[in-house]
Amino acid sequence: MTTVVDRPSAAAASAQRRPSVPVFTRLVGAVRRHAIAAVAVLVLAYLFLPVVVVVIFSFNNPAGRFNFAWQGFTLDAWLHPCAAAGMCDSVLLSLQIGLLATLFATVLGTLLAFGLVRHQFRGRATTSLLVFLPMATPEVVMGASLLTLFVNLGVQTGFGTILIAHILFNVSFVVVTVKARLAGLDSRLEEAAMDLYANEWQTFRRITLPLAAPGIFAGALLAFALSFDDFIITNFNSGNTITFPMFVWGAAQRGVPPQVNVIGTAMFVLALLAVAAGELVKRLRRV
């Protein structure tokens, strides 16, 4: 009679020979694998914490002038966003200046970016350096310099001077954004289009412009955001004109109304929708 002895499988034998890993070593390995993701989450939480506070306090029911302590939930500020005297007028003014400044700065900045990336000319390096100077210059210095310029020229400060100032410092941001996009484009795509008998205008309209559109769109969004919330340069060159940031600064002396948080929340939501729309269009083009 033969006795059959069960032999352990190869996997079981390998598991038996494998040395056990200490718990501390496994914990350190897990921390290393997820350290970057954890740091990213903490940084995002730090960045969005003020935005969360603005959203929450747009539903606050302040007891008195100040909206710095939570008193209770209410929709009154959302139902009456223009209850604070003069606030909606300042918002409309900031929107007008922001849209006009974005339009002019985007056009000028895009043309300058194309000139710097696609053409070789004397002084190209110096021009690229000068583009960065408005970005590196403190806003107090730029605002005071522009005010001195307008006063010496006899220009009345107001809507026009604010618009000129916003276009001036927004152009640099648009140039940098569009220039980075153009530097990463594959020039062989344009060459292929021209090999297929497309002229320069057709190549630009059907190849170059669609490829550069994300950078131009990003530059326009950045320009609008910088223009809408600028206070220092605007304060120097506004005269009697009151934009939304200046209204908030003045209201802070008396008590910030909850409607200010409503406008801030609405602008944040609109910015998210604009970015989401851009990403959606980009994905639809890939399909």
Q: What are phi and psi of 265, to 5 degrees?
A: -65, -40
Q: Which two tokens stand for residue 15?
A: 């598991």
DSSP three-state, residue 8: coil
H helix runs in 58-186, sequence order: 76-79, 87-118, 124-136, 139-153, 159-183
Look up the pTM and report it: 0.79
Provide the CATH number for the domain around residue 134: 1.10.3720.10
Q: Domain total for the chain? A: 1
- On whether residue 209 sits in a domain, the answer given is yes
Q: Which domain holds residue 224?
A: 85-256
Q: Per the domain annotation, does 13 fall within a domain?
A: no
Those residues with Cβ within 8 angstroms of residue 54's Cβ, 6 or more apart along the chain or in another chain: 261, 264, 265, 268
Query: For residue 19, what pLDDT is reported?
Result: 57
- The answer to whether residue 234 sits within a structural domain is yes
**Quick one: DSSP state of residue 121?**
-
Rounded to whole angstroms, how far apart are CA atoms 116 and 13?
67
Residue 91 domain-assigned?
yes
pLDDT by 10s per residue, the chain, length 287: 455 545 555 555 554 555 566 666 777 677 777 788 888 999 999 999 989 998 998 888 876 666 777 888 888 888 888 888 888 899 999 999 999 999 999 999 999 999 888 888 888 888 888 888 888 888 899 999 999 999 999 999 999 999 999 999 999 999 999 998 888 887 788 888 887 878 888 888 888 888 888 889 889 999 999 999 899 999 999 888 999 999 988 887 777 788 888 988 998 898 888 888 878 877 887 76
| 103 closest CA partner among 211, 215, 219 | 219
Residue 114 in any domain: the answer is yes
Judge whether 51 lies within some domain.
no
How many helices and strands, by DSSP H and E, does the chain display? 13, 0
Question: 62 φ, ψ to 5°?
Answer: -70, 140
Q: How do residues 9-20 score in pLDDT, each as one tens digit?
A: 555 555 455 556
In contact, 172 and 135? CB cutoff 8 Å: yes
Q: How many residues does the chain have?
A: 287
d(CA 259, CA 88): 10
Average pLDDT, the chain: 84
* 100 in a structural domain: yes
Residue 50 lies inside a defined structural domain of this protein: no
- Quote the pLDDT of residue 37: 85
